[in-house]
Copies of this chain bind each other. A is one copy, B any other.
Amino acid sequence: MSLKHDREWDYELERIETAIEERDAETVGLQFPEGLKRRGPAVADDIRGLVDDDVTIMLSGQPCYGACDLDTFLMKRSDVFVHFGHSPMKESEKIIYVPLFSNVDPFPIMEESLAELAPPTEDAAAERGTDPDGVDPDVGLVTTAQHMNRFGEMREWLEERGYEVHVRKGDDRLTHEGQVLGCNYASADVDADQVLYVGGGKFHPLGLAMEHPEKTVVIADPVNNVVTVADTDQFLRERYATVHKAMDAETWGVIYCTKIGQGRWEEAEAILEDNDDAYLITMDEVTPDRLRNFGLDAFVNTGCPRITTDDGPQFHSPMVTPGEYQIAVGHEPLESLSFDTFHGTW
């Protein structure tokens, strides 16, 4: 298949073309996450080159941060709707999910990460000068959607080096064995004291370490080419500081996120029922500008926890997770602070 534009990824144009023809589609909606939006016009060109002239291609201009974040307006108005860059959170006949995999080689950084993992065998432990009795040769392995295509190879690579590798598929929210999301680390719930996370960014391994405090989480980041061991201290300090600020709040905004995979109605409703000074606010994008105008003392975000913890400091009033809210209002002790995770689809 000849393409108008060169690119590194496989956009599965034939699958899209087939769906357009089979459904006799007149409208096709394409949704890309932020980092891939730039590719949108070229992909639209390629699809236009494959199908009838009367097919209208539409690009979603809504922000998109995950498979939880489908453009439902565009989806409803498209005969074929294609979501690029994430693995399916929930299968649907309407949606074509096109995962886009990183072409970064993970093995050089995995090689470096071995120095942070407990040695795989008694011999290796002796060689490193570690007490062989203390060696647990097992390791859990997790990664993100964009490295999922190499997951089998990663596992074999560790096994070849003597490790017993534990993997599992977390829950319904996840498509693949070994996959983690920013809001779900159930795939790391394995019988091993150490977990190797292969992937970019800080958020996923932090959540992983918070969710599994009893495990050592080693981060092999092939994108930034660094190995680190997840340290939750700084994160916890920030969260405690925010919770303390929120303790002074008299009025609360309770955010219910309207994005298809980010709504937790029961959590929001329970807080409302419990607190006469809490006001329910519905919104898709949760941003400082949108909340400032309400003039409330604090917010509890039942939507994406990544916004609460990563973007939180940008909000003019403290923003906490539902679990942190219970601490801030005195229903739970400070020690109960944990990472906010999502389970299930929608």
Contacts and interface: CB of A to CB of B under 8 A. Distances in A.
Nearest to A53: B273
A294 interface: yes
A34 interface: yes
Interface stretch (A87-95, A118-126, A280-288): A280-288
Nearest to A31: B282
A223 interface: no
Contact of A73 (B41, B57, B258, B269): B258
Contacts of A283: 60-62
Instruction: Output the residue of A34, A38, A59 with the most chain B CB within 10 A.
Output: A59
B282 A73 contact: yes
A95 to B, nearest CB: 16
Interface residues of A, number: 41
The copy count of this chain in the complex is 2
Interface string A257-288: 01000000000010010000001111111100
Interface in A41-76: 41, 44, 56-63, 71, 73-74
Nearest to A280: B58
A281 B34 contact: no
Contacts of A296: 41
Nearest to A279: B41
A326 interface: no
Nearest to A27: B280
A34 B280 contact: no
